[in-house]
Amino acid sequence: MNPGISKQAASAKNPILRGFNPDPSIVRVGRDYFLATSTFEWFPGIPIYHSRDLANWRMIGHALTRADLADLQGVPDSGGIWAPALSFADGVFYILYTIVHNRTGPFRDVNNYLITAPSITGPWSPPVYLNSSGFDPSLFHDADGRKWVTNMQWDHRPDHFRFAGIILQEYDPSAGRLTGPIFDLCRKDAIIEGPNLYKHADYYYLMLAEGGTDWNHSISMLRSKVLTGPYEPDPQPFVLTSRTHPALPLQKAGHGELVQTPDGGWYLAHLCSRPLYPPRRCPLGRETAIQEVHWTNDGWLRLSGGDDAPKTTCALPDPTSPPSVRPTLVRDDFDEPELSADWQALRIPVESSWANTTERPGFLRLRGRQSLQSLHHQSLIARRITEFQADVETAVDFNPDTYLQSAGLVLYYDTRHHYYLRVTHDEDKGRTVGLATTIGGAITEYPNDELVINDWKRIYLRADIDGIDVTFAASADGQIWQQFPGKHDFSLLSSDFAGGFTGAMAGVCVQDLRGSQAIADFDYFQIRTVIPVDG
């Protein structure tokens, strides 16, 4: 650490959490900052990141590591875990979260829960059920010791606005339930969600995510001298937004939380997205950025430096902190007995019965189960894609004896949108490697482009992402590559094309639709990325 570095030079480059890391919830305990983000259908749920300077973050684990904390089997694409709210009071960490079981049609079938832990690394308590009236719950710890839960309320009735306002109810820790009257804090003729309450000086402040988590996303505020209201709106429509700044590199800015530094400064963690132009899509998903903020003389929150636009650079609170540094190579040789925290599965915990690094040391062994369209038992693990320039590579030992068995490399958005470079078996050709694309639920295979690989001892697979274009290749030795014809559209793996709220992931998987749990052994997995000079 260089003690001579200036505050101006010591800065964070946004996004601080790159790739699929939406809905940040941030808290400081002593000198330590902790941040949690949404994971939707991915398991384990709610990653926890740690930092000492707000710029350099390291994942230290997940809050929801067991099925009893989050039963996600059968949840739809972009259902599951929404918007965790992390807080700390009286020596205890709290996380509130939503499990979304249905998000189509007029209804939102959701349950809101609370878990606690004596340490940020757990163990986390069994979940306490709160309510089901809407999503995005958060917990406010008032100075008098009372605790209050806010969440948005959903209205399923015909001819009613679905986002029916923000409600407040007291939480009784001793009884483990909500109690007392429900207060309506505010309603708007706009999408409002992600509520968070703060007390500053003489006012209670209600921070909202407004405009929907897309191109019109924003953060707005209201305040009141009484917790239960009425709340007056900020005379400035938005504290933060990119809706009126279409040329900014950070778009969809909104859904944030405040944190105060030890020296009294204030920062705002918020979500954002980096679009590909054209076609103005964001396959990396919603990411996490940070902005310096301050309170004005008349008691309103504003971005430091003026205006309401998200900045790509943010001054750090600690002038002795080094500039943020990010790795450009992520390689896993599967030499450890446990998978690293960066790996995630779909809807269920990673269990040794279908994924382990111990049966064949130095390899990840996966046993085939259901298809990539399944909402229940997929044998797939994946990591976030964090940049628009990346190559993904793996090597697999796999000997299928039926077309019902396949294994390989996947670029995945959801069950209806993914690219799959897979090894399988054909009755006439024998063992082959080829590409299958699933876009909008329609599967396309390219049998004329398949490679017959009966004499390959090991199969090397690669995907090269170059902005909007992604190409695929295979090799028998990892040196001489045979590229499959054509370029495919990486931007289709995005909410802007596919709908939903997640981001593109890269991983490995195996299927056995015969039910015999065919084995695929992966020697390594790596993602090499190029980070733009301008951040």
Buried b vs exposed e over 70-104: b needs ≥16 C-beta within 10 Å?
Answer: bbbeebbbbbbbbbbbbbeeeeebbbbbbbbbebe
**Per-residue pLDDT tens digits for 475-525:** 999 999 999 999 999 999 999 999 999 999 999 999 999 999 999 999 999
Q: In whole angstroms, give the CA distance from residue 54 to residue 32.
A: 9
Confidence band for 532, pLDDT divided at 50, 70 and 90:
confident
Give this prediction's pTM.
Answer: 0.95
Query: How much is the pLDDT for 530?
Result: 86
Of the candidates 23, 81, 28, 82, the one whose C-alpha atom is nearest the C-alpha of residue 50 is: 28
Q: What is the largest CA-CA distance in the chain?
A: 78
Kindly tell me if the per-residue pLDDT of 88 is higher than 50: yes
**pLDDT at residue 295, rounded to an integer:** 98
End-to-end CA distance of the chain: 21
CA distances (Å), origin 483, targets 172, 419, 466, 472, 487: 61, 15, 15, 6, 10
**If pLDDT is split at 50, 70 and 90, which confidence band does 531 have?**
confident
Identify the pLDDT of residue 316: 86
Using the predicted structure, report yes or no on whether residue 267 has a pLDDT greater than 90.
yes
Domains of the chain as residue ranges with CATH: 11-315 (2.115.10.20), 329-529 (2.60.120.200)
The single residue of 53, 136, 193, 489 carrying the catalytic annotation is: 193
Instruction: Look at the block and give the residue holding tokens 């039963």.
Output: 71
Band the pLDDT of 1: cuts 50, 70, 90.
Answer: very low
Active site residue 23: yes
Mean predicted confidence (pLDDT) in 460-480: 98
Residue 158 burial (CB count, 10 A): 6
Chain centroid to CA 328: 20
Q: CB-based burial of residue 336 (10 Å sphere; 0-12 exposed, 13-18 middle, 19+ buried)?
A: exposed
**Which DSSP symbol is given to 125?**
P
Is 477 a catalytic site residue?
A: no
236 Cβ contact list (under 8 Å, min separation 6):
300, 302, 308
Segment 118-136 mean pLDDT: 98
Phi, psi torsion values for 448, nearest 5 degrees: -70, -20
Catalytic entry in 23, 136, 332, 393: 23
308-321 residue pLDDT tens? 999 999 998 765 55
The share of the chain scoring above pLDDT 70, in percent, equals 96
Of 322 and 463, more confident: 463
- What are the pLDDT digits (tens) for 15-55? 999 999 999 999 999 999 999 999 999 999 999 999 999 99
pLDDT of residue 93: 98
Q: What is the pLDDT of residue 4?
A: 28
Task: Identify the three-state secondary structure at position 490.
Answer: helix
Residue 226 to residues 185, 187, 231, 485, Cα–Cα distance (Å): 11, 17, 8, 65
| Residue 285 token pair | 């998903």
The Cα–Cα gap between 494 and 465 comes to 14
How far does CA 20 lie from the centroid of its chain? 4
pLDDT value of position 305: 86
Residue 321 has what pLDDT?
A: 53
Average pLDDT over residues 362-388: 98
Mind listing the pLDDT tens digit for each residue in 335-347? Answer: 999 999 999 999 9
9 has pLDDT over 50 = no
pLDDT tens digits, residue range 138-167?
Answer: 999 999 999 999 999 999 999 999 999 999
Nearest to 323 by CA among 56, 65, 109: 56
What is the per-residue pLDDT for 319? Answer: 56
Q: How many CA atoms lie within 13 A of 297 on its CB side?
A: 0
For residue 301, what pLDDT is reported? 98
Mean of the per-residue pLDDT values of the chain = 95
Q: Which one, of 294, 215, 231, lies nearest residue 261 by Cα? A: 294
**pLDDT for the residue numbered 7:** 38
Q: Is the pLDDT of residue 5 over 50?
A: no
Provide the token pair at 473. Answer: 């290749």
- Cis peptide leading into 361, omega within 30 of 0? no
